Structure 1
């Protein structure tokens, strides 16, 4: 009985790790920026870790980029992993990666030069609009 309880406890502790163990595939129909990198439109494989986010074009492992990510605000459990962009004029900026099963958010900061570009769009009257893309859709 003690062994069974120990095994059940281990399974419960390992559950959050296994929920995000498989990378997600997202169809992103537009080019975008994240931190200091440009990304073309395409299908992306995304893997979230504690302090970074790994993005790669599906079928092209050479395109792998590792982006610094910070824990963001908590959210409700939705079951869907989601990439959150801001559309500012014709510029798309990857801002967050939401891990629906865990209720966790990984925020993606921009480099100083990218923040200046975003500021110039806003100064010209463009306002950020959220664009959400869920995995597998």
Structure 2
């Protein structure tokens, strides 16, 4: 019996760019040495000419979130696979930080299919029209 172990040096990579009159951020977890893409997230700061009511007035939207590799059942863990190891949650946490701190958004929304809504509910999102959304409650300090 021969066991071949692959040790990954996964790091968060960020790429920012302008697309369709809006600002987008592409986040990914990658192992650049071995040219492996673990997962990705596309975040957009909605422009003022957004026509979707749910995305108007200072909203950032996650247009895409994927963690690659073999499919692992939701309640299962397989340390040799990327799914259910926390990469998606870490990408969402970074997207929320960017939306709040850099975009000054009051809300972040996710384009979500019916099958992934419970995942986003666990992260504090609620159904908002066709989206799952989280409103940021900012506490202002008074001196």
More strand by share: 1
More helix by share: 1
TM-score (norm: length of structure 1)? 0.28
